[in-house]
Amino acid sequence: MKLKSLGWLLVLLLAGIVFFLAATMAWIAGLAWSLGLLGLVWGTFLLAEVKRWVPLRDVAWVAGLAYGVGVIRWFDLPVEGLSSTQRWLMIGAGLLCLVFFALVAPALLAWGAQKLRPPAVPELPTEKPPSAEMLRRWGPRD
């Protein structure tokens, strides 16, 4: 991810907040809405990865991370009555969710996009540089 300016960092932060709110509203609306939003986010990431649109890929990555935070908030349970071991297990589950949405899912999507991407255009043929033998044989008129 290339962050060239403070403005781009602010755009990503704003996108994270907007998609966190969208994920929260989708979870309130129901499972179908939340899965639809997740499909939209991951589809955008896949499209940006196939087309090599880095800014859109970065925004889609942030949106996926915000969706993961929304999942953690949706599964948030009251921890007042839990033991300290259960609290640590809940923190660990949240961290696993974040790792999945921040690293595992984008890596799998990028791997799939690499398989879907058309082969690269071959480079134009270039003339091989002359060897030392050829340079020695050529005269100044060549």
pTM of the model: 0.74
**Per-residue pLDDT, 68:** 92
CB neighbour class for 110 (10 Å; exposed up to 12, middle 13-18, buried from 19):
middle
**Per-residue pLDDT, 3:** 53
Structure tokens, 1: 């991810």
**Per-residue pLDDT, 126:** 82
Q: Is the dihedral of CA 137, 140, 141, 142 positive or negative?
A: positive
Structure tokens, 83: 């033991």
Dihedral (Cα; 121, 125, 130, 133), 10-degree rounding? 100
Crossing angle for the helix pair 54-74 and 6-29, nearest 10 degrees?
Answer: 40
**Per-residue pLDDT, 60:** 94
Q: What is the pLDDT of residues 94-116, one digit of tens each?
A: 899 999 999 999 999 999 998 88
Residues of the chain with pLDDT under 50: none
